[in-house]
Structure 1
């Protein structure tokens, strides 16, 4: 099965403030899109998963 594109929206903790984000990721399903978002934001900003919130995941129409 080919990967689809998903738009993931949420927020992450930067200092004392929650900063919103929107990312488009390629993944086989919504759960994997969420996991890849945790990995990307966590590694870029040195955050643990508890400091990253996912509000919604939806497929992107081509």
Structure 2
């Protein structure tokens, strides 16, 4: 598996908050799905409230 760095922002109560996280995934699409699942469950968000800006392999 490769390691990907995913950056983006999510909608909080009053504004958007930036984030950057690293995930292990076999490809870029799976990395995106894992970030949607992790950030969404951690902050109680739906996918439409999360904007992924960049996905890069390390």
Per-residue deviation at 1:7? 0.2
- Number of positions where the alignment pairs a residue of Structure 1 with one of Structure 2: 58
Listed as ranges, the gaps of 5+ residues in structure 1 are: none
Coordinate RMSD, CA, aligned: 0.5
Distance 2:12 2:21 in 1: 17
**1:16-61 per-position Cα deviation (integer Å, ceiling 9, x unaligned):** 210000000000000100000000000000000000000010001x
Would you identify which runs of 4 or more consecutive aligned residues in structure 1 move more than 4 Å? none
Q: TM-score, normalised by structure 2?
A: 0.97
